[in-house]
């Protein structure tokens, strides 16, 4: 440790010492300034790291934000497709449900206006609209020829098809009793023939293209009620007209 020289002055009887020698190094203000500049450098490096994101993820997030704001359009090739696909399905589902409810209401109104409530029943769910016509009003026992009353019921089917873009499945059903007519060897033949006859009537009396319809025969494979009584068998003998939204890939 350096010794401080003491100089005694005889003025006023006081003793004064020299000030401490200044140590080497940078000035104090420069140390503070250096700390501040280091912190600023770290701050801007951190900002730079935030901007260096994965471009694909950024575009995906932007697609999700645009979709939430309602400005995104359906485009299978767009970068937001993984997010948009689910959202489009949800929107389509909402639209389809609304169309199903509206179609069911129109069919019910048409049935009431034609006074066909005794032969027709309408139900709907998220899969589509079901119009069920009983066979007693459509065909004679064991026959696939339409009655005059059946043509009135089929006009309801035609009106619904011409005023919507739904597809139609015509399903023929019978009871478990073998057909009495020698023309049909089984209930499969009879149910398919009845469904096909309804489809042909619609084609001949409307502008509905054949590509929007198909006919299927189920015989007694899908009864509404167990075939334990004549009343139950009467209910099981029916033709169903099932309307499906246009967007369904399988129908």
The confidence score (pLDDT) of residue 9 equals 47
Domains of the chain and any CATH numbers: 86-244 (3.30.1330.60)
The confidence score (pLDDT) of residue 10 equals 47
The sign of the torsion formed by the CA atoms of 69, 71, 73, 76 equals: negative
Backbone angles phi, psi at 6, to 5 degrees: -110, 125
CA distances from 205 to 68, 110, 157, 159, 235 (A): 46, 18, 11, 11, 28
Query: What is the side-by-side order of every strand in the sheet holding 167-173?
Result: 120-125, 128-134, 238-244, 167-173, 213-217
- Are 128 and 241 contacting, i.e. CB atoms less than 8 angstroms apart? no
The confidence score (pLDDT) of residue 27 equals 78
In sequence order, what E strands does 33-191 have? 120-125, 128-134, 167-173
Global confidence as pTM: 0.62
Enter the DSSP assignment of 18. Answer: P
CA distances from 46 to 40, 51, 52, 56, 57 (A): 10, 9, 10, 21, 19
The confidence score (pLDDT) of residue 1 equals 45
The confidence score (pLDDT) of residue 120 equals 92
- Strand-pairing partners, residue 163, are none
The confidence score (pLDDT) of residue 142 equals 83
| Token pair for 3 | 């010794």
The confidence score (pLDDT) of residue 34 equals 86
Burial of 138 (0-12, 13-18, 19+ CB in 10 A): buried
| Token pair for 10 | 């005889």
| Token pair for 100 | 């199903």
User: Cα angle at 82 between 65 and 60, to 5 degrees?
Assistant: 40
The confidence score (pLDDT) of residue 83 equals 45
**Mean pLDDT for each 10-residue chunk of the chain (251 residues)?**
46 58 72 86 79 60 58 48 51 82 93 91 91 90 88 93 94 89 87 96 95 95 90 92 85 64
The confidence score (pLDDT) of residue 206 equals 94
| Token pair for 174 | 């019978």
């Amino acid at each position: 440790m350096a010794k401080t020289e003491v100089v005694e002055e005889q003025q006023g009887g006081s003793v004064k010492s020299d000030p401490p020698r200044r140590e080497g190094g940078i000035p104090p203000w420069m140390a503070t300034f250096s700390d501040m500049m280091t912190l600023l450098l770290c701050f801007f490096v951190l900002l730079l790291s935030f901007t260096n994101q994965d471009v694909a993820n950024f575009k995906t997030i932007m697609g999700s934000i645009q979709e939430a704001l309602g400005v995104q359009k359906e485009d299978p090739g767009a970068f937001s497709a993984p997010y948009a696909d689910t959202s489009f399905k949800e929107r389509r589902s909402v639209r389809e449900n609304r169309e199903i409810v509206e179609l069911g209401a129109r069919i019910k109104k048409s049935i009431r206006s034609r006074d066909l409530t005794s032969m027709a029943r309408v139900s709907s769910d998220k899969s589509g609209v079901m119009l069920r016509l009983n066979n007693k009003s459509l065909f004679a026992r064991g026959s696939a020829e339409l009655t005059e009353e059946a043509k009135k019921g089929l006009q309801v089917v035609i009106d619904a098809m011409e005023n919507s873009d739904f597809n139609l499945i015509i399903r023929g059903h019978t009871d478990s009793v073998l057909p009495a007519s020698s023309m049909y060897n089984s209930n499969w033949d009879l149910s398919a023939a009845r469904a096909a006859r309804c489809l042909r009537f619609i084609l001949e009396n409307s502008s509905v293209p054949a590509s929007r319809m198909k006919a299927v025969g189920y015989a007694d494979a899908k009864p509404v009620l167990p075939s334990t009584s004549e009343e139950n068998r009467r209910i099981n003998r029916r033709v169903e007209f099932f309307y499906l939204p246009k967007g369904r890939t399988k129908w």
